[in-house]
Structure 1
Amino acid sequence: MHDKSQIYAIYIFCFDKSKYEQWTTEKWPKVRGIFANIDSICDSLRQTARECDDDDMKITGQIEPSFMYSMLFKEIVLEIHFDLEKEIPGLAKYARQVYKDKPEQLPIIDEFVQQYNGNINNSPVRWYTAECFTYKMLNKALGRLDVATLLKTGFFMRDLHRNIEELHKKQINDNDAPFPKIVFRGEAMTQEDFDSKVQQ
């Protein structure tokens, strides 16, 4: 795992640090530490994020193809005029097929069809941050570059992007709002997804 460029750092979060101390040796250079409390792991993550930013500035080689494709796709999606009267039912039909074995998602899909209109009042950010099909479907599609799903969710990605831009502008212009806000969101991966990412 330490020879994989996709893995920059490894953090071990546990209650008994002594069980894993042997992993912080020169043999395991990507292990940044064993952490028993959230504050110390967050501090280490911030430091590593700064290192990653510095390393990104130094990269002069080739752009990762999947990154390039995702950026091109994003630019295209932002320019497309979507007919929401067709796109929303189309996404709902697709989501019902994908989540046919997860009946708890079906009422949420119905609610999405009835309520979603893409404007700031029906916040795409709210739909994305909810633990529901929108977040799961979009993240999986982005992670796997699943073009069929990305096309079905294109209008939602565009709306989400615009919603985040609007919220960012509001926050910058609001002198009373604490800024900057730091937001972390984890992503769980199946072993299969992890293995495929590591082997790229």
Structure 2
Amino acid sequence: MGSWKGLPEIAEDAKVLSNDMMPMNVFSLSHHEKSIRDLDKERAVFMWNQLLMDVLLRMPTSDESKMEMLTECESYYRDNAKELEKINDFRLNYSSDAAVSWYTRDSFVYRLLNKALRTRDIDIIFKFRFFIADLYRQLQKEHSKFMKRFTDDEYFLTVYRGQHLKADELQELKDNIGRLISMNTFI
């Protein structure tokens, strides 16, 4: 008769199996979300992020890449009828000139993309590649229009986007006044 495993051993086996099934993150072995990076301490991470974005922007986009993103979103929100409705609206009505509009809405796009950027989840970031490229290009166009209108130094544009910060991240911002930091969201 085979040996019987007690509950502690089964729990440990389940924990090991669960950890083995975690998505691979090439930037870090930690999956903790972090919105702010101190560039004095994490220059290599910043460079990897910049290189990743450069590669994603150079990749051709296709309907297949859009479907890959939507499939991931549907899987994540499979039990949320409200978000599934928004995902279907995106599928039917999205156009590349509406990327900023979709990104600033209270919807799956903003939440999933920023979570992937904060955790540096390369798998999810890759699945959002077509949207990232559209968002980047639309922001470039808007920036160019803005710069044509306002070339004098006395003009400022103030924009706001709410984001929760943990107390330690707020302290990190305070500690880095006058130094370089990187935000792990799409700015």
Same fold flag (TM > 0.5): yes
- CA deviation map 1:116-150 (0-9, x unaligned): 131x2xx1000000010110010000000011110
Q: Does 1:72 align with 2:26?
A: no
Kept in 2: contact 1:141–1:149 (CA 8 A): yes
1:155 to 2:130 alignment? yes
Going from structure 1 to structure 2, the CA distance change for 1:185 and 1:168 (only over 3 Å counts) comes to same
Question: Which ranges of structure 2 fall in alignment gaps of 5 or more residues?
Answer: 1-33, 173-187
CA distance in 2, matches of 1:78, 1:184: 25
Under a length normalisation based on structure 1, what TM-score does the superposition of the two structures give?
Answer: 0.58
C-alpha separation in 2, matches of 1:68 and 1:181 = 28
Structure 1 runs of 4+ off > 3 angstroms? none
> Greater RCO between the two (CA within 8 Å, min separation 6)?
2
Counting aligned pairs with the same residue, the percent is 26
Cα deviation code 1:132-173 (max 9, x no counterpart): 011001000000001111011011111101100101111222
Partner SS state of residue 103, structure 2: helix
Matches within 5 A, 1:86-97: 86-97=64-75
The 10-residue stretch of structure 1 (65-74 or 160-169) with the greater mean CA deviation from structure 2: 65-74
Q: Residues of 2 paired with 1:190 and 1:108: CA distance? A: 29
Question: 2:102 aligned to 106, 127, 135, which one?
Answer: 127
Is it true that 1:173 corresponds to 2:153 in the alignment?
no
The 2-side partners of 1:169 and 1:138 are apart by 24
Given that 2:100 and 2:139 are in contact with CA atoms closer than 8 Å, whether structure 1 keeps it comes out as yes
Number of equivalent positions = 133
Distance 2:134 2:155 in 1: 23
- 1:186 and 2:165 equivalent? no
Structure 1 distance, partners of 2:45, 2:160, is 23
Report the Cα distance in structure 1 between the residues aligned to 2:70 and 2:80, rounded to whole angstroms.
Answer: 14
Deviations 1:34-69 (A, max 9, x none): xxxxxxxxxxxxxxxxxxxxxx9xx8x665333222
Structure 1 residues 179 and 166: CA distance shift in structure 2, 3 A: farther
Instruction: Extract unaligned runs of 5+ from structure 1.
Output: 1-5, 9-55
CA distance change for structure 1 residues 7 and 91 in 2, over 3 Å: closer, same or farther?
A: closer
**TM-score with structure 2 length normalisation?**
0.62
Aligned residues: CA RMSD: 3.1
